[in-house]
Structure formats: C-alpha cells, structure tokens
Structure 1
Amino acid sequence: MPPPQDPTPAPTPPPDNHVHTGWSWDTASASTMARACERAIALGLPAIAFTEHLDFTVWDPDDRATDEGLVERHASRHAEIDVQGYFAELAEVRERFPQLRIWSGVEAGEPHLFSASIAAHLRNGPVDRVLGSLHSLPEGGRLYGVGHLLWEDADGTMRRYLAEVVDMVESSDVFQVLAHVDFPRRYWPGGIHRYAEKDFEEEYRQVFGALARTGRALEVNTSSPLASVDQVRWFREEGGEAISFGSDAHQPGAVGQRFDLAVDIVEAAGFRPGRDPFDFWRR
C-alpha cells in the first residue's frame, strides 16, 4: 500500500517583481521574456514583472541632476529602453502565457535626480511596476557606480549611500518598491563575507523609517547577498508594512532564485502573504 499523501497543497510562492530581459542595457538579448515566463511557470510563481533598467546619461534641464551640476556618468554603458519593442514582446507573452500574470515595469535608477526624465518616459510608456534603485553616487560633477567608490572608503561610502537612499525615498514618489537597499554589499572589498550589517543598523533604520512613512514596499533581493532576518525586522520595527520579492534576474534561469530562503527570512521577521497571491507580503 502506498504511503498516505499529505493533502495540504504547497504554498504559492510570491511574485517575482524584479526581472530583466534583453531590453535592459546590461542583459543579453538571449534573455527573452518567453524564457523567463517559462521559468516562472515551472516554479509555480503567480506573476512576474519585467522591470527594465531606466537610467540616464543625458538628462532634462528640469532634472535635479542638472541643478546639482552633474554632467555625465563615469564609464557609462547605459542605453535607453526600446519602448516599442518592449511592449510588443510583452503583448506576445501575455497572449502566450495566460496562466501567468505578467506586469510591465521599470527599475528607475536614482529617481530623485531624474524626475523630469522619468516622467517623460512614463508618459510614453506607462507601466504597472516602478522600482526605485540607487546604483551611483555623485562626485565632482559625475555619477560613479558605488562599486568604484567602495575601494577608497568602504564604510564611508556605505553610510553615504544609505543617507542618499533616505534622500531618494523622501524626494521621489514615482516608485512603489525600494530595490536592493544594500546594493554596495555586492562589491564589498575583500568579499561579501567581510560586510558587517550590524555596523550600519542606525543608517538602515533611517532608510526604513523614511520608507515606512510613505507606505511603500521594501524589496528582498535574491541576487544580492540575502538580507538577514534582523534587517527585515528592522524595517518592521520602523513601521514598514509591505515586502516585495525580487530575483533581479538578468538571465531566465535566475527567475525566482532562492525565493524559498527569502520566504523563510521574511516570515521569521514577522511578515505573511498578502490579500491574494499577487499582493506584497504584509505585517
């Protein structure tokens, strides 16, 4: 006689709210929406958001970047999103994969510096999901990727980074989700194991308090070194109410990566699934 089967269905994983395809400037053209959707379906994800990089190398006179005297990005490979091509492929996968909810989106880099440029883009291509990200910091009239600055002063750069994230949260209301709050950790001198999260608790709490006051979601990014239970709990203790899960995938095989571990972390910090499978997780 076969052993009795557990009648309890497996829980539905959360949506992947942060996925890149070949429409992002740093992602290979072989990373198609269709392949990402196939991966999402295989994992049982209820939804996926294609949040392509929205970064600027030329900005609007009305952007804060202009007011602050920024003139260029250092060693930039950034490129514009092909809006027409992006939405054409999105329509194709929505028709091909009706069992999967598929959201449009952008990952807006430094949105507090480029509000006019972002607004112009979104007028031409409105989307379902907008992530806010900080990848670069200003220095001497140029924007530098934080990985470039860490080698000069890692702790000082990290504190400056988190202070800039507070400014970004307080100065921009265009995004719904704060992505990879500790992005510089990916490039920590000597290896990520040398990064001491606790050393920056006060700065993290400043970010989380600012974000909580806006009611927006914090992303647990599974391409980055995973957030600790402590970090997610700090967000909850500062009044944070919503968590988004994002693989930050730049290739289809990374969609939904390590979501099982991320779910364990988020649950241990006191968050639970939201109103339906497509919602953020809630406190």
Structure 2
Amino acid sequence: MNFNFDTHVHSTFSVDAKDNLEDIVSSAIAKGLKHICFTEHIDHNPKDYGYQFYDFEKYSNEIERLKDKFSSEIQILKGIEFSEPHLYKSEFEKELNRDYDMIMASLHWLGDNFYGEKELLSKYSPEKILEKYFKDLTVIAELGNFDVLAHFDFPRRYYGQVSVDNHLIEDILKFLVRNNIVLEINTSGLRKGYNFTLPNFDIIDMYLNLGGKNVTLGSDAHSREEIGADFGKINQFQHFDKLEFGIFKDRQFQKLYL
C-alpha cells in the first residue's frame, strides 16, 4: 500500500533540519503526497541547542503563504513537537492556546543528557536507560492535552532492541487509549539502520489489544530526501488491517481511507 501523507516533518524552523518549508513541500508533491504536517521542535531545555530557536510568528506566516501557493496540490498542516511538556508546563500551556492542527509530545532528555549521548552509558545500562525513559513517558501520558505521542520508544533509536518490563509500556498505552491520544508509527528507526519502527510492532500489537486503533505515520524527516522514507515497510505488520491511519486537522483526528 502506498501512503500519501507524512505527519512528522521538520524544516529549517527546527534547529536540526536541513531544508526550508517550500523545498520540502515541493519534494512532497513530487513524491505524490497529498497531506503533510510540519512538526517543528519546541525545546525549553537550556542544554538543548534548539533552546529558544522556535519562532511561532515566522513559522505561521510561512505556512499560510505556502497553503495559498500549493492549495490545489497538497494539504499543508501546522504542528509542533513539544519536548518534555511535564517539565515545562507553563510554556506548554502557551502553545495549547495557539492555532495548531496537531500537537505532538516527545521525550528527548534524561536529566542533563540527551538520550543519544554516549555519556549516558557511563551512568546506566541500556536497560536502565529505557526503564527511566518509560517512567518519564508515563508522566507525560498522564499530563495529556496533546494529540500524538511521538516515537514511543525513542532510546531504541540509539541502543537497539533493548528489553524492558512490559507493564511500564502497557500503563502508558492505557493512558493513551483512555485519553484519545494517538500513537505515532515513526519510521526513523528503519532509516537509522535498525529493523524496527518506533514503536516496534510488538508495542503496536499491545496498543491494538488495549483498544487503540488510531495511528499517525511519520518519517521524522529532517530533510526533503527523508520524506515518506520506509513507509512501505509498514505493510509487513501482521495486523496492519486493524489500524486506522489518519491526520489531524484543527486538532481533530481525521481517518484517511487508503
């Protein structure tokens, strides 16, 4: 099955991205996409090199310009990826009052260390790192007020398929299902050389078994080349037909009939 949407994309309005909004939109159209949601990083950790980089006004103005220019070719949606909302609650509240189509929550830091830093391995085993990650992710899930939980098992992008107590994972998924927060299937793990998505297929199975079904699909692209990367591999998921893929418009989930 061909997917004609990507709901996790970064432009140069994120500090770590390569291409500007218009170049990414043009590439998405060339690849046959009909929907694209930009999810620019908002980072409030002073140690993050994206700290205070985000500019809502400039981002919004460019989104509106491109909507006018490409309205007949692609639906352009405005989102954000807000890191550690449980630690920056007042800043998160500010974003909740803005006119986004989709708000993603994510977790990138363990204390003073980014999850990909090798220094973490001098402090903890990979198993302990993942355990701490999921405990913090539980707090984020409990906080709620966002639409999508990004790259569910993010540290596995750096440490591989590390095992963890499934009860931790199930507790988070229960919060998502109970509060109508949607799970993202993020293909960046495949692009990083692993043979799994984030979350992996076992976690997606758990989500289905707990009553979840709505999902978004994102490449986590930071360049135009990465848009829609490895989406075809999602078809390998055994229970693919039970998932409801969709996008968010005005913070409402809209199923896409593929």
Q: Normalising TM by the smaller chain, what interval?
A: 0.7 to 0.9
Instruction: Spell out the pairing of 1:83-94 with structure 2 (5 A cutoff).
Output: 83-94=56-67
Separation (CA, whole Å) in 1 of partners of 2:141 and 2:170: 13
Match of 1:40 in 2: 28
Separation (CA, whole Å) in 2 of partners of 1:118 and 1:274: 24
Q: 1:184 aligns with which of 143, 155, 159?
A: 155
Contact 1:236–1:269 (Cα < 8 Å) also in 2: no
Give the Å deviation of 1:135: 0.6
Contact 1:25–1:79 (Cα < 8 Å) also in 2: no
User: Is 2:108 the partner of 1:108?
Assistant: no
Separation (CA, whole Å) in 1 of partners of 2:238 and 2:102: 21
Separation (CA, whole Å) in 2 of partners of 1:132 and 1:13: 23
Q: CA RMSD in A?
A: 2.6
Instruction: Spell out the pairing of 1:164-179 with structure 2 (5 A cutoff).
Output: 164-173=136-145, 175-179=146-150
Q: Deviations over 1:138-186 (max 9, x none)?
A: 3xxxx4312236412211110111111111010231x100000111112
Separation (CA, whole Å) in 2 of partners of 1:245 and 1:132: 15
Matching residue's letter, 1:201: N
Give the Å deviation of 1:236: 0.9
Instruction: Spell out the pairing of 1:70-219 with structure 2 (5 A cutoff).
Output: 73-74=46-47, 76-98=49-71, 99-123=73-97, 125-138=98-111, 143-148=112-117, 150-151=120-121, 152-153=123-124, 154-173=126-145, 175-188=146-159, 192=160, 195-197=161-163, 199-219=164-184
Q: Deviations over 1:18-44 (max 9, x none)?
A: 11000112223xx11112112222222
TM-score normalised by length of structure 2: 0.84
Matching residue's letter, 1:116: S
Separation (CA, whole Å) in 1 of partners of 2:28 and 2:165: 34
Separation (CA, whole Å) in 2 of partners of 1:264 and 1:86: 36
Matching residue's letter, 1:96: K
Match of 1:27 in 2: 17
Separation (CA, whole Å) in 2 of partners of 1:224 and 1:48: 20
Q: Deviations over 1:181-235 (max 9, x none)?
A: 11111221xxx3xx245x4433222221121111111001111241433221111
Separation (CA, whole Å) in 1 of partners of 2:239 and 2:25: 26
Number of residue-to-residue matches in the alignment: 242
Give the ranges of 4+ consecutive aligned residues of structure 1 lying more than 6 Å apart after TM superposition: none
Contact 1:222–1:248 (Cα < 8 Å) also in 2: yes
Q: Which runs of 5+ in 2 are unaligned?
A: 191-196
Instruction: Spell out the pairing of 1:53-72 with structure 2 (5 A cutoff).
Output: 53-57=41-45
Change (3 A) 1:166 1:14: farther
Which of these two proteins has the greater Rg computed from alpha carbons?
A: 1
Separation (CA, whole Å) in 2 of partners of 1:170 and 1:269: 29
Separation (CA, whole Å) in 2 of partners of 1:44 and 1:266: 26
Separation (CA, whole Å) in 2 of partners of 1:202 and 1:269: 26
TM-score normalised by length of structure 1: 0.77
Separation (CA, whole Å) in 2 of partners of 1:262 and 1:205: 22
Contact 1:12–1:44 (Cα < 8 Å) also in 2: no
